[in-house]
Amino acid sequence: MGTIVNGANGGFKGKAGSIIGSSWKSINYIKGLYKKRSKPASKAQMMQQEKFKTLMRFLLPINFFLKIGFGRKNTEKLTPINAAFQFNLDQAITGIYPDYTLDYSKISISDGSLYGGGTVGVSYDAGDLSFTWSTDDSETFETFSDDMVYVLAYHPEKDEFISTPTPSTRAAGTVSFTVPEHLATGAVHTWLFLSNRSKTKVSKSVYLGEIQLI
């Protein structure tokens, strides 16, 4: 696939002979027509495809979080979910082909320079999952009481994510939500990250660990 640098005629969209024109974020691209594969995929290609499926299956349902957590990463070239995929590809996948799995402790939901939540924690009691963090703010480090806090839990046995309906704030120091009844067994993996109010700066996400439910 090639990038078009606009000339007198600019870019184009659609099919023209043996090429297809398209654009994304004002960048014009050309690519050849799809050719049916005549040879079976190599083992290296199959390994890459399996890694792609394993990681994207996890990332796709949390695109809302990734738009914030990776929304400032190389935005002219990559969508946030693609930035998150590239960031996590080498660090989060474990196992031997074709039995790849995810190391949840190494998955990042966001990456940035905003100061995080300080001392953070998570607990489960009486059906509620509770997250805590430090409330300190600082003009020196450009952290403020209205910074937004995002929490996320993933239940691998049910392959479902749960979170709060809306983000909390740094000043709140804690947020809780009730785990749905159908998820209230087994264990969940948990993460937390922050953004400023305008979502132009984010913190690195923190993996808070695996929490055993009933």
**pLDDT recorded at residue 73:** 83
Chain mean position to CA 174: 22
Residuewise pLDDT in 10s, the chain (214 residues) = 444 444 444 555 555 554 566 665 555 555 555 566 667 889 899 999 999 999 999 999 999 999 999 998 877 789 999 999 999 999 999 999 999 999 999 999 999 999 999 999 999 999 999 999 999 999 999 999 999 999 999 999 999 999 999 999 999 999 999 999 999 999 999 999 999 999 999 999 999 999 999 7
**pLDDT tens, residue by residue, 135-153:** 999 999 999 999 999 999 9
**pLDDT recorded at residue 20:** 60
**pLDDT recorded at residue 88:** 98
Chain mean position to CA 82: 9
pTM of the model as a whole: 0.81
Numbers of helices and strands, H then E, in the chain:
3, 14
Answer for the pair 172, 137: CB distance below 8 angstroms, yes or no.
Answer: no
Q: Under 8 Å CB-to-CB from 163, ≥6 apart: which residues?
A: 65, 150, 151, 152, 153, 177
CA distance 173 to 132: 6
